[in-house]
């Protein structure tokens, strides 16, 4: 979810649908604020990689910890909460992005916290990704005095190559029956808990309809992605891709997300038909790998005029179509389990991460990649070295950048632009 709160002039080439996606996110927040914060309706805080679909189907307001963290960062409140973490004894190397919301609750200062701070949720849902998630969530649930639910997902033992070719229809083989059995049972337990804490009953037909709509939205995005990959020049800037695809992802299952992906796909098709490109002198197509640069998406466009270099892809461009779509007959819960069971593995385990990105490089005709490794976030660093190695071996030059994801003040824009510019000149143009 974008943390942008200020109106800015539209960047050149912005799609007509992009303001609609932003407006949707604004209206989501207005609605969330009214229901959960003003009227005290039970709501849920959930990890980004958890099955939100359950709560959408229950019509329970849901907010992700990453969203509130991005708001804290955008409002430049991170330094205050970092100071508090230091005073409380949390050492400075601990991953901070996901913990900022918890610290804002410990601070207990509604005057300072964005929107007066998050009220007590009915439930905090987290996935035990890494070893620290349960610690942050346990502390947070204690501070709120609210229930918590942990999803513990068994590790994938064998990584079948080319996961994206199997993930939509052959997911039972891809993820393994034992793991899926376990995860389905776990999601059933989550539904019980969710029903208890919210006082609502899940209508499984509603969930099934949602699941079909997610597949439909994913199909439309796949078409859009293919148009972007095959068209020269690139018809859509990366920030537009991010805004539209993420809005559909967060609102997945809704009719709005299907309609929006239809409009997104159609506008791209029109641009392609018209021969429109966001950079008239396009010479190089670049991939953005790993964490998104959410606080400075303008950076993605900084090399169009100077170098004719266009960022055409990041994992957010089509993870929704490749990773979220799960076709099923009958049991929608098993398909839901399949969606969330290996989300992180697909994006961060070396062969899966590297294989998928290599495929995107080929499909998008990329001539180089920039990889962002967040400082102080061990989990997001895993897989990057093997991925870089694989891409370089496949002939794709990769530049690795390190940056803090929570403190925009530490981003030296000029230095980063110089680095990428030098990379384009020496590694991409130099080898051409």
| Candidate ranges 19-27, 267-275, 323-331, 347-355; the one touching another protein (CB under 8 A) | 347-355
First-to-last alpha carbon distance for the chain, in angstroms, is 38
Task: Determine, following the binding rule CB under 8 A, whether residue 29 of this chain makes contact with another protein.
Answer: no
The yes or no reply on residue 351 touching another protein (CB under 8 A) is: yes
Q: What are phi and psi of 378, to 5 degrees?
A: -55, -40
Q: Could you tell me where the DSSP H helices lie in 108-162?
A: 133-144
The SS3 assignment for 88 reads helix
Output 197 or 386, the one with its CB closest to another protein.
386
User: Rounded to the nearest 5 degrees, what angle is found at the Cα of 348, between the Cα atoms of 391 and 412?
Assistant: 75
In the complex, the smallest distance separating the C-beta of residue 406 from another protein, rounded to whole angstroms, is 14
Closest CB 68 distance from another protein, rounded Å = 19
Residue 72: its H or E element: helix 65-74
Q: Decide if residue 145 touches another protein (CB under 8 A).
A: no
Choose which of 134, 193, 296, 359 interacts with another protein (CB under 8 A): 134
List the interface residues with another protein, window 173-232 (CB under 8 A). Answer: 178, 182, 185-186, 189
In angstroms and rounded to an integer, the radius of gyration of the C-alpha atoms of the chain is 21
Q: Which of 31, 109, 152, 203 binds another protein (CB under 8 A)?
A: 152
The residue among 9, 353, 326 whose CA lies nearest residue 171 is 326
Q: Which is nearer to another protein, 19 or 395 (CB)?
A: 395
Stretch that binds another protein, among 33-41, 52-60, 295-303, 348-356 (CB under 8 A): 348-356
| Helix 100-107 × helix 133-144 angle, to 10° | 30
CB of 370 to another protein, least distance (A): 17
Applying CB under 8 A, does 308 fall inside the site for another protein? no
Number of residues that bind another protein (CB under 8 A): 42
Structural tokens at position 403: 């940056």
Among 37, 74, 136, 372, binds another protein (CB under 8 A): 136
Nearer to another protein, 89 or 330 (CB): 89
| Interacting residues of 83 by C-beta distance below 8 A, sequence separation 6+ | none
Number of residues that this document lists for the chain: 432
Smaller CB distance to another protein: residue 282 or 400? 400
Identify which range of 2-10, 37-45, 238-246, 380-388 contacts another protein by CB under 8 A.
Answer: 380-388
Instruction: Decide: is 94 part of the binding site for another protein (CB under 8 A).
Output: yes
Q: How far apart are the C-alpha atoms of 198 and 355, rounded to whole Å?
A: 41
Q: Is the CB of residue 368 less than 8 Å from the CB of residue 286?
A: yes
Task: Among 130, 308, 365, 421, indicate the residue that binds another protein (CB under 8 A).
Answer: 130
- Is the preceding peptide bond at 233 cis, omega within 30 degrees of 0? yes
Neighbours of 148 (CB within 10 A): 18
Q: Is 150 in the site for another protein (CB under 8 A)?
A: yes
Query: What percent of the chain is helix, strand and coil (3-state, nearest 5)?
Result: 55, 10, 35
Q: Return the range that interacts with another protein (CB under 8 A); candidates 46-54, 289-297, 371-379, 417-425.
A: 371-379
- How far apart CA 312 and CA 240 sit, in angstroms, is 11
**Residue number with CB closer to another protein (175 or 311):** 175
**Of 38 and 108, CB closest to another protein:** 108
CB distance 311 to 240 below 8 Å: no
Contact call for residues 311 and 238 (beta carbons, < 8 A): yes
Using CB under 8 A, which of 11, 119, 147, 350 touches another protein?
350
Picking from 207, 249, 220, 197, the residue whose alpha carbon sits closest to that of residue 335 is: 207
- Cis? peptide before 378, omega within 30° of 0: no
**378 touches another protein by CB under 8 A:** yes
Q: Which is nearer to another protein, 161 or 330 (CB)?
A: 161
CB-nearer residue toward another protein: 100 or 229 = 100
Note the residues at the interface with another protein (CB under 8 A): 88-91, 93-95, 128-132, 134-136, 138-139, 150, 152, 154-155, 157, 159, 178, 182, 185-186, 189, 349-351, 377-379, 381-386, 389-390
């Amino acid at each position: 979810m974008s943390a942008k709160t200020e109106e800015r002039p539209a960047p050149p080439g912005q799609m007509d649908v992009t303001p609609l996606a932003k407006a949707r996110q604004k209206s989501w927040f207005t609605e969330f604020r009214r229901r959960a914060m003003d009227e005290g309706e039970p709501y849920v805080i959930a990890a980004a990689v958890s099955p939100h679909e359950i709560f959408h189907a229950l019509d329970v307001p849901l907010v992700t910890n990453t969203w509130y963290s991005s708001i804290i960062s955008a409002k430049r409140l991170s330094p205050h909460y970092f100071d508090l973490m230091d005073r409380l004894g949390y050492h400075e190397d601990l991953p901070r992005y996901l913990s900022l919301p918890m610290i804002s609750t410990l601070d207990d200062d509604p005057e300072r916290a964005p929107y007066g701070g998050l009220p007590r949720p009915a439930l905090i849902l987290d996935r035990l990704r890494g070893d620290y998630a349960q610690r942050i969530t346990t502390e947070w649930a204690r501070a709120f005095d609210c229930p918590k639910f942990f999803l513990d997902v068994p590790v994938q033992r064998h990584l079948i190559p080319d996961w994206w070719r199997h993930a939509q229809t052959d997911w039972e083989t891809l993820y393994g029956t034992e793991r899926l059995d376990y995860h389905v049972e776990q999601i059933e337990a989550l539904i019980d808990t969710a029903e208890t804490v919210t006082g609502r009953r899940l209508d499984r037909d509603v969930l099934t309809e949602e699941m079909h709509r997610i597949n439909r939205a994913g199909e439309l995005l796949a078409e859009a992605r293919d148009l972007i990959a095959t068209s020269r020049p690139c018809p859509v800037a990366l920030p537009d891709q991010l805004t539209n695809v993420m809005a559909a992802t967060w609102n997945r299952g809704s009719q709005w997300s299907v309609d929006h992906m239809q409009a997104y796909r159609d506008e791209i098709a029109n641009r392609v038909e018209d021969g429109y490109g966001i950079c008239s002198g396009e010479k190089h197509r670049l991939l953005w790998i790993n964490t998104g640069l959410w606080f400075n998406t303008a950076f993605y466009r900084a090399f169009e005029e100077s170098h004719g270099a266009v960022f055409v892809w990041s994992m957010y461009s089509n993870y929704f179509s490749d990773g979220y779509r799960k076709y099923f007959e009958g049991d929608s819960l098993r398909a839901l389990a399949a969606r969330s069971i290996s989300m992180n593995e697909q994006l961060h385990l070396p062969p899966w991460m590297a294989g998928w990105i290599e495929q995107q490089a080929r499909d998008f005709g990329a001539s180089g990649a920039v990889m962002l490794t967040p400082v102080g976030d061990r989990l997001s660093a895993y897989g990057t070295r093997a991925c870089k190695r694989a891409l370089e071996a496949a002939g794709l030059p990769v530049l690795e950048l390190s940056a803090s994801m929570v403190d925009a003040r530490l981003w030296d824009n000029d230095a980063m632009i110089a680095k990428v510019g030098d990379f384009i000149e020496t590694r991409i143009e130099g080898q051409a």
